[in-house]
Structures are given as C-alpha cells and as structure tokens.
Structure 1
Amino acid sequence: MKRGAILVGVAALVVLGTLGWVNRKDVILWVVTTLAKDRDIAAYSPITWQQGPATAPEGDRPPNIIFILADDLGINDITAFGGGVAGGRVPTPSIDRLAAEGALFTQAYAGTASCAPSRAMILTGRYPTRTGFEFTPTPDGMGRMVSMFSEGASGLPPTEWNSDAAGKVPSFDEQGLPGSEVTIAEVLKTAGYHTAHIGKWHLGSGPEFGANAQGFDESLLMASALYLPEDDPGVVNAKLDFDPIDRFLWARMQYAASFNEGPKFAPGGYLTDYWTDEAVKVIRANRNRPFFLYLAHWGVHTPLQATRADYEAVGDIRPHRLRVYAAMVRALDRSVGRVLAALKDEGLDENTIVVFSSDNGGAGYVGLSDINAPYRGWKLTMFEGGLRVPLFMRWPAGIAAGTRIERPAAHIDLMPTFAAAAGAALPAGVAIDGIDLLAAEPPARAHDALFWQSDHYRVVRQGDWKLQVTERPKKTWLFNLALDPTEKTNLAGKAPAKVAALTALLDAHRKGGRGPLYPHTIEAPVAIDRTLAQRVRPGDEFIYWSN
C-alpha cells in the first residue's frame, strides 16, 4: 500500500509539474500581477507647488523655458509635416502652431532610438561615451519576462536574455544618470531659474539619481505606467497581444504618482491631462520669476489608453488600437494648447521659449505601419524612423515665425541652446557635445558629425552621409540622405572609401570615450520594415537591439 501511495504521489507531482511547465507563462503573469504590485498607493492628494514672488522685479528678465517631451511619438503622428495619425484624420493644431509661429528643424534627431539615453543626452548635452548612460533601465524582471514571451509569432528569433549580465546590473532605481553629471536644470539654477519637472523621469531615483538630486526644485513623478485604472469607466483600453512588452506593462503597471519622491498616490485624472493641469499651476505660481518647466509626457507610449471622450471625438477609425492611439495624440495636442493658453493668460507668452520634441521615433511594437512615414525603421532601430523626431521652438521675442532650420539638429543640442538663451554659463571643465541651435553664426560641430550607439550597433551621420554598422547580424549600410532620405539604397558596396572614412570616425568616437555604466541584459531582434503585428518574410532586414 505504501509503495502504491508513493507511486500515486509521484505521478501527481509529475502531472502538476508538467501542467506548471506548460502553463508557466500564465503562472508568471499571475505572480507578476499578484505579488509584484505596490499595495501602498494612497488616494489622490492635491499638490502644493512653491509660489514665486507676488510681483515681478523691474528690468529685463531672461526667458522662461518650457520643454514638452512626448514619448514614442512618430514624426507622422502630427500634421505639421503634412501627414498625421490615421491618414491625417486627427489634426494637431496646437503642436503645429509651435512650428508655424517659431522655428521648425527639418532634420531633427533623437539622442538615440530608445527613451532613457535620449533623456540623459537632452539634460546633459553629452553622448553616452562620456556619461556611460547607454541603455534604457527596465523594471526588475521585465527583460526576462519579455524574452520568455517573445517566441516568434512575428517570425523573428526570440529575444535573448543574459542571466549572467543581469546579476551585474543595479536595481531599477539605481540604474541612473550619475550625480556627477551636470544637467540643464542645475545650469539654469545658477542663473536664478526656478526648476520644475512633471511626468516621466526614467533616469534613476533617490539622493543621487532622482530629479530633485539632478537640479529640479520640484518634481511630480510618474510612479508607474497606467494613464487611468484599467477598469475606470472613463477609459478605453487597447491591449496588444502580439507584444511581450505590452503584456508586461498590463500585468505589472499601476496608476500612481509621487511628489518630490514622497509616498505614491493616485493622480488626479487621465495622465496626459493631469500633468497638464499641474503644468498650468506651475506656470501661474512662477509668473513673476524665470522658470524652467520640463513637462515629460508618457503619451503616446504603451499601454494604449485613451479617455472615452477623446475616443469618441476621433471618430470611427480602425483598427481599434489605431483609434485609441489617435485619441492619445489628440490629448497630447490638447496639452500643448493649454500650456500656450496659460502663458497668454499670465502675460508670459512673448518671453517664454516653448520647445516640443519626442524622445525617439514611433515604436513598431504598437503594430501601426504609418507612424514614422515616409522613413524606414522604428524605435529600437537607428534608421531614420527610429531617430527622426519633431523639434519645434516657439519664442515670439527671439525667434521669427516661420523660421525653418535645415541643418541637422539633435537632442544633445538642447542643453547648450537653453543655457545660451538664459545667459547661463556652461559648466566649467565639462565637455559638451551639443551646440547652440539659435546662435546667429552656427558653431561648428565636431567632425561635422552626429553619433549614435547601442553596444555593437553604431551609427554616424557626417554631412549628408550616414553609416550604420551592426555585429548582429554583421551588416553595413551606407546612405546618402540628400539623395535618399528614406534609406532605400544601400551604397556600402559601391563606396568603400566612404565606408572606411566613416568607420574610422565611429572607432575614434568610441575609443575616446568610456564604456556603459552597466551591461545590457537582452538582445532583441527588431524588424526594420515590418511592425510587430506583421510576420517577417524571407529577405526582410532586422537588427538586434541591445538593452
């Protein structure tokens, strides 16, 4: 009897183990959803912002600076360039107004093709070869889960997870921009500016890495990633079953904010609108002193969530995820309009610089094929679709309406541009890679070149020539952007001397710098010409993105 009972028990364990293995993804999702979420998110609490002086000092005053950064916004999501989301059915008049009433940079580039390193370059004006901040921090467990859920419905190889490297990476909060780096907020404070941050940060937290530690007097932080609770009656959700990142976000993320790194609490509305509500309060509170406001929106990053009102307003757009996405773009444009209206109401319109950009190109993993048109590639590739971003600067007192700047501009240029406009000195002894975009005589850029890199994937643009080299797969692309701005014709085989010269520039750029702060843990294949909702075909090109 005992032997029989033991055999039955062993058989039961084998069955349970087999079922657990077969359903391991569902088990992992349950663990992430049930055990990893924060249980200590308080109810909504109003923010008390610091109040500036009751009256403005006499004499000239440096310009206020408001930098509005979208997340994963494709260059074809706005109508300023003649396109627009959903075939132009959802116009973006407020964002377009910035371009029409100020400077439009026709060849503007993100710092890189993913979010956090671009943000570090915006704040410091320095390449990752100087700061070491080369990879985007991901929440603990995200890389491993994404690799497990990436098993090839698209026809791509699965994402690779490096557990050895993962053991050498700091926690999510400690994967930050080093406190030794000098940010534009710190520079502007030396010139008497009040500095405020609202929204996404993604550069670490705590006494070295958080926004307050990096020069911001006040910081209202996005503390998780939902725009509204999933079951809120005023929200419309669009889940992307083909995207492992989306599955992680829905399983793990919550609806939360924090102020000056204090306790988490529920925000006061749909995230895009809530950040704007608070931005308007900051403008009013500081109307009598110079201020720098960094409004870092989460829109239009996944998870895709729109207000029901915006969803109804954009009309019958299909598929459903495109309609939700279009509604999110509408909310982002409304935010810009409300900021401009607040400046007008407070008498600050003429002497405030308002800058709008996106941290990188639109993401292929949302499954929408036209968001970066006409350019090839997506976020996580360094084709123009992953790097080209809108960049508009409106400053009625200092920039003529309708200004078009044709020379290449980049995120590393924003820090020195803001400092020059404010009359603030750049940090002594610190090498700044960017240039002042508004200088009367454009300064020379070192080697007349812009650089991008993510581990083995390296890119340089010098003049009109752009070289991309990657080790996985081993590939070289050379394009003449003046003749081929959409990177259709690879000239690498026909111009070996140009390849050699640009490769030498890449090698010198890396040799003269430092390595990354911490190793990458995943290698993710990304198709260049197909979204994640489409199957790749034989001959389709793809790269591996290190993170």
Structure 2
Amino acid sequence: MMTLSLRLLFAVWLTAVSGRDIRNKQPNIVVVLADDYGFNDIGYHGSQIFTPNLDQLASDGVKLENYYVQPICSPTRSQLMSGRYQIHTGLQHGLINSGQPSALPLDNPTMADKMKEAGYATHMVGKWHLGYFKAEYMPFYRGFDTYYGYLTACENYTSHKRLYPHDGVAYLDLRDNNGPIYNESGHYSTHLFTEKAIHVVQAHDTSKPLFLYLAYQSVHAPLQVPGEYEKKYSHIQDEKRRTYAGMVSAMDEGMGNLTKALKEKGLWDNTILVFSTDNGGETYSGGNNFPLRGRKFTLWEGGLHGVGFVTGGRLPVKGLVNNELIHVSDWFPTLVGLAQGSLNGTKPLDGFDMWDTISRGTPSERTVLLHNIDPLFAKRGVPLYNDTFDTSVRAAVRVGDMKLITGDPGKGIWIPPPGESLDFHIEDDRQKSPEKNVWLFNITADPNEHHDLSDQMPDVVLSLLGYLEQFNETSVPPNWPHFDWRSSPARHGGVYGPWM
C-alpha cells in the first residue's frame, strides 16, 4: 500500500506534469469586442452602471489601463484583425460606409486566417464592418469556419434591419454562412449573439483548440433594451443614459453566461479571454468617458483610450493592473504567438507581441504609437513649419509619455455623466483659437489632457512631428471610393450583402 509520503510525492509530480501539459497545449482564445463602450461605463472605473460579471472577469485577470484603440469602428476592427495601422491598409479615413466598395485588403491575412493555419476551429459572431462588397471579403472567406451576424452598423436590435442611407428604407442585415436569417425578428441582438456564441462553445470539438471572436453590437446606438434592464436604472434621470446603462447590463449578463458555458464545457482552464472596446463612448448616445477628454470620433483620450482586460483560466496571473502601453494592433502578434501560430505571409506588422508584458509584467516593447494620420479630413489652420509634417492635417502620435495632436482633433471638452457637474471651467481650444492646430500633452502626468505644453516645449513638438513625417512616408493613399448605387439591398432581395 502506498504510504502518505509517497501519495503526496505522486500528487506533486502529477500536478507538475499536468501543469507542463497545459502550458504546452494551445490555449482556447476568445476575443470579445464591445461597440462604443465608454471608459466611464465599466464598474471598476467607478461607473454608476453595474457590471458585476465584467468586473469579476477583470479582477480575475489583468486590467489594461494604458490601452488604446481607434476613435471609430472599422479602423479598430481592421487593426485587431490585421495587426497593421490603418495608414498601411488604406482605412485611415472614417469608417466603411454602406455602399462603399471598400474593405480590409485581401493581402492582409486576418487573425482568423492565422488561427486556422495553427489548427484552430475558428468562429465569429456579431458585427463585421470590414467590408462586404465582394463575396471574398465576407468573414467566412477570411479565416472563419462559421459566421453569424451583421455586416454593417447601426442595426435595429430586434428587427435586425438598418436604414440604407440613400433611400431611407430599412433592410435586413443578419446572415450566417448560408445566407440571410429571416426568423429572428424580436430577438434582442445582445441575447441573440450571446446565445450563438454559447452554441459555438457547446458544439465545439475539443480535439481542436477554439478561436471565438464575439463582436457585440452593444452598446452602439440605436438605444434599445428590454425594459427589465432599464428598470434597474430608474434613478438615472437622463433618458439616453438610462437606456444605455440597461444596454450595458444586458451585455454584462451575456459575458457572465458565456463564461459559464466555457466552464461547463470544460474549456475555461485552458482559455485566454480578451475584452476590448472598439472606441470611446459616444456621449451623444448615452456613453461616457469621464474623466477623459473628448468622445468617440475624436483624437482626445476619450476617443481612443479604451476599456480592456485579459482573463481566463490559462492566464498565469490574476488581480493585476497593467500600465504598460498596449494597442489594439498588438493583439494580432500576441494571440497568434500564444496559439503557436506563424506570422509568415503577413506584411510588416505594426503590432508587438505583448504576452510577456501582460502575463509577466515585463516592460512593453511599444514606445511609439501612431493614433492616425488622416489626409482627407478637413484641414485646420496653416502649417507651422515648412520642412516637416503638415500641422494642418489631422493626426496624433504618442512617443513615450508625450502625445502630439495636429489638425482638427474634434470637440475637446470634458463631459461628466448626466447629473454630475464639473469642478472646473470647460473651454474648447478649437473655439478659443480657431486656427490652432497643435497640442502637446504629457499623458503620464496629465492623462486627462488639461495642460497643453506645445508652446512651452517646441523642441518636443518638432521631434514628434518628425515621427509623424516618418509614418506619413510609409502610408498608402486612403481607400475612400464613391458610393456605388448597385449596393442597394433593394436590388438584392431586401438584404445587405455583396453586390460586385
């Protein structure tokens, strides 16, 4: 009979072997992207909105507090999927509109392509918004085994229709690999997408690792939510904020249900889950980024300093706050590397592998971050210098602690949650000085952008303009095609889909 000492020794050996096995095993990878989710809209940032599931997931993992996305939808999604700045894919201006023959170029392998190469089962549920004018740009031709969701944006949450901007008629925008889905009217999209993601988990063949990309429509406008979620916030007087808060709660519930499904399937202990917003909150539609300056669409921190965290049973650390500089383009090399995949065949990446930074706290390799250069955005003022980057062009770059903004960054004010007041005076620099087109901030010392240093530190301004000039030399022209009348869903059975 085995003695107690031998049993203990065997248990220690078995634990060590099992630990090595799981460390050498490809992890399941789940990426969840919220839409228009504001910095001040998650519980652990002090929000008035309850997010118990998201808070717990983040507390069990690593909160990313120096994490950046793009100030608008398609560019963030393109960088997540490709690992490349939008200046290198032609998506640096605006977003991909319905009727535009534009998309993430096919010569950029997607994260799903790389996961599939590495032997993963790959699934997407939710909002694509990376182009669909030809069939080859659809998600199931870009690395995903299955797809269920929306191709565009701004859909009604229950009818799954959206207005076509050129005729004002609402058409269906819900499909899977087999075509349009007609029988889900009345099914709230947050619930629908959660249920579809849970079905993917339940049906998963565990002989393969799982890659699941869940891109919620939540909490983008239109502001719609079942009444029971909104009732929780009857104390919020502002109607938009109250509905928005209910929408956040519905998404938070979905995250709890998805996590439960992963655990019930036995996948959680070998899963890494990444949660991110796609841009800052839209303050005109209930979202909030306070104390950050600005909103969605702007180059202020409120537009692009995002909510993000990493969690899951495979994460070797928990309960940490990470303040290293991380960008949405970093997920591509980080997660492909974690999947033991190959980066062969990709164009030069702008992202960095951040796994050691996230899991071990090592310093970030990223010291420079290009927020964007948009030559098609309306210019502001006149160039300050003749021999470097044109300061009238809308752009922003971060180098170390310092952030430079040029051109027109968008409305630069601080917007507290409805019902709360500011303890300082609001003044938009653009209105005070209509020709002003340069701002400089030490984001580490001044994360909320109160103190413009551009007049005090002209040498730093020139240095960062040099970085913008170098980036500009590597950029490709913006892909901003004219509207194509052939795209009308009226010509394609009343459904959004490929037209060329």
- Please give the TM-score of this superposition, normalised by the length of structure 1: 0.71
| Residue correspondence of structure 1 range 8-407 to structure 2 within 5 A | 61-81=25-45, 83-84=46-47, 88=48, 90-110=49-69, 112-140=70-98, 171-172=99-100, 174-205=101-132, 206-223=134-151, 225-229=155-159, 252-254=169-171, 256-260=173-177, 262-267=179-184, 269-288=187-206, 289-366=208-285, 368=286, 371-407=288-324
Please say if 1:430 is aligned against 2:394.
Answer: no
Alignment: residue pair count: 411
Instruction: Kindly indicate whether the alpha-carbon contact (under 8 Å) linking 1:135 and 1:520 is maintained by their aligned counterparts in 2.
Output: no
In structure 2, what is the Cα distance between the partners aligned to 1:292 and 1:136?
29
Secondary structure of 2:268's counterpart equals coil
| Map of 1:467 onto structure 2 | 404
Residues 315-338 of structure 1, C-alpha deviation per residue, up to 9 Å, x if partnerless?
Answer: 342122111111100011011101
* Counterpart code for 1:298: Q
Q: What is the deviation of 1:213? A: 1.7
Please say if 1:495 is aligned against 2:457.
Answer: yes
* Counterpart code for 2:480: Y
In structure 1, what is the Cα distance between the partners aligned to 2:166 and 2:449?
33
* Counterpart code for 1:403: L
Query: Alpha carbons of 1:471 and 1:101: their partners in 2 closer, same or farther (altered >3 Å)?
Result: closer
Residues 394-431 of structure 1, C-alpha deviation per residue, up to 9 Å, x if partnerless?
Answer: 13223311122111111001111111111111134521
Q: What is the deviation of 1:312? A: 2.1
Task: Please list every run of at least 4 consecutive aligned residues from structure 1 whose deviation after the TM superposition is greater than 6 angstroms.
Answer: 245-250
Instruction: Kindly indicate whether the alpha-carbon contact (under 8 Å) linking 1:106 and 1:404 is maintained by their aligned counterparts in 2.
Output: yes
| Map of 1:444 onto structure 2 | 365
Residues 120-170 of structure 1, C-alpha deviation per residue, up to 9 Å, x if partnerless?
Answer: 000011012221122344545xxxxxxxxxxxxxxxxxxxxxxxxxxxxxx
CA RMSD of aligned residues (A): 2.6
Secondary structure of 2:113's counterpart equals helix
| Gap runs ≥5 in structure 1 | 1-57, 141-170, 232-244, 522-547
| Map of 1:28 onto structure 2 | none
Instruction: Kindly indicate whether the alpha-carbon contact (under 8 Å) linking 2:28 and 2:270 is maintained by their aligned counterparts in 1.
Output: yes
In structure 1, what is the Cα distance between the partners aligned to 2:408 and 2:93?
17
| Map of 2:17 onto structure 1 | none
Query: Alpha carbons of 1:424 and 1:252: their partners in 2 closer, same or farther (altered >3 Å)?
Result: same
Q: What is the deviation of 1:449? A: 3.5
In structure 1, what is the Cα distance between the partners aligned to 2:61 and 2:160?
39
Secondary structure of 2:58's counterpart equals helix
* Counterpart code for 2:33: L
Query: Alpha carbons of 1:137 and 1:452: their partners in 2 closer, same or farther (altered >3 Å)?
Result: closer
Secondary structure of 2:398's counterpart equals strand
* Counterpart code for 1:504: G
Q: What is the deviation of 1:313? A: 3.1
In structure 2, what is the Cα distance between the partners aligned to 1:251 and 1:306?
23
In structure 2, what is the Cα distance between the partners aligned to 1:91 and 1:327?
9
| Map of 1:532 onto structure 2 | none
In structure 2, what is the Cα distance between the partners aligned to 1:453 and 1:336?
34
| Map of 2:394 onto structure 1 | 457
In structure 1, what is the Cα distance between the partners aligned to 2:371 and 2:252?
30
Instruction: Kindly indicate whether the alpha-carbon contact (under 8 Å) linking 1:453 and 1:459 is maintained by their aligned counterparts in 2.
Output: yes
Q: What is the deviation of 1:516? A: 1.1
* Counterpart code for 1:499: V
In structure 2, what is the Cα distance between the partners aligned to 1:99 and 1:427?
33
Secondary structure of 1:305's counterpart equals coil
In structure 2, what is the Cα distance between the partners aligned to 1:427 and 1:442?
26
Secondary structure of 1:295's counterpart equals strand
Q: What is the deviation of 1:513? A: 2.2
| Gap runs ≥5 in structure 2 | 1-20, 376-392, 410-434, 484-500
In structure 2, what is the Cα distance between the partners aligned to 1:361 and 1:429?
29
Of 303, 315, 325, the residue aligned with 1:408 is: 325
In structure 1, what is the Cα distance between the partners aligned to 2:76 and 2:267?
29
Instruction: Kindly indicate whether the alpha-carbon contact (under 8 Å) linking 1:250 and 1:303 is maintained by their aligned counterparts in 2.
Output: no
In structure 1, what is the Cα distance between the partners aligned to 2:44 and 2:112?
29
Instruction: Kindly indicate whether the alpha-carbon contact (under 8 Å) linking 1:375 and 1:384 is maintained by their aligned counterparts in 2.
Output: yes
Instruction: Kindly indicate whether the alpha-carbon contact (under 8 Å) linking 1:65 and 1:354 is maintained by their aligned counterparts in 2.
Output: yes
- Please give the TM-score of this superposition, normalised by the length of structure 2: 0.77
In structure 1, what is the Cα distance between the partners aligned to 2:308 and 2:482?
29
